[in-house]
């Protein structure tokens, strides 16, 4: 059986526990923003363990855009490396869970519209990119 390793940040772990523990009926908005979020279940690239992270809900058709903003910090969040190594994920959107495959979107013609819809869903993304010294990674999670 594969081990689950909870997030290390208290608020992230609490968000995941509330969301998952309620079957997707509670904790579906990110902290005090009131904006909807999803839970992405993925595999750690070093440990092979199950990891879960709440991300902003950015739906495009039946797909989801995942933005590795990390609040504009200089480094990518760890989950970015996990998705690059292990693209098969589960996404919980409230009470529904979908098996999906992610791919990083690096081509600007495809990336820009996904960034725009993400920044509309969560406007701080533009501020994060402005202060980040890196190009924030963008992934699309598509149904398998």
Tens digits of per-residue pLDDT, 50-82? 999 999 999 999 999 999 999 999 999 999 999
| Residue 132, pLDDT above cutoff 90 | yes
| Residue 122, pLDDT score | 96
| Residue 33, pLDDT score | 86
Give the integer Cα–Cα distance in Å for 88 and 41: 9
Overall fold of domain 10-143: Pnp Oxidase; Chain A (2.30.110)
CB contact set of 64 (below 8 Å; sequence gap of 6+):
38, 57, 58, 91, 93, 100, 140, 141
* Residues 16-41, mean pLDDT to the nearest whole number: 95
* Residues 74-102, mean pLDDT to the nearest whole number: 98
| Residue 31, pLDDT score | 83
Question: How many Å from the N-terminal Cα to the C-terminal Cα in the chain?
Answer: 23
Question: Which among 8, 29, 31 has a CA at the least distance from the CA of 77?
Answer: 8
| Residue 2, pLDDT above cutoff 90 | no
**What is the pTM for the complete model shown?**
0.96
Q: Helices (H) and strands (E) in the chain — how many of each?
A: 4, 7
């Amino acid at each position: 059986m594969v081990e689950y390793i909870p997030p290390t940040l208290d608020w992230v772990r609490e968000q995941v526990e509330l969301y998952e523990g309620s079957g997707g009926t509670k904790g579906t908005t990110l902290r005090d923003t009131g904006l909807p979020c999803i839970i992405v279940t993925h595999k750690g690239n070093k440990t092979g363990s199950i990891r879960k992270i709440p991300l902003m809900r950015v739906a495009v058709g039946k797909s989801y855009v995942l933005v590795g903003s990390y609040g504009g910090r200089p480094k990518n969040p760890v989950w970015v490396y996990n998705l690059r190594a292990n693209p098969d994920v589960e996404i919980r959107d409230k009470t529904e869970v979908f098996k999906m495959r992610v791919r990083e979107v690096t081509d600007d013609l495809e990336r820009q519209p996904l960034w725009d819809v993400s920044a509309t869903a969560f406007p701080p993304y533009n501020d994060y990119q402005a202060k980040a010294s890196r190009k924030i990674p963008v992934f699309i999670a598509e149904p398998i």
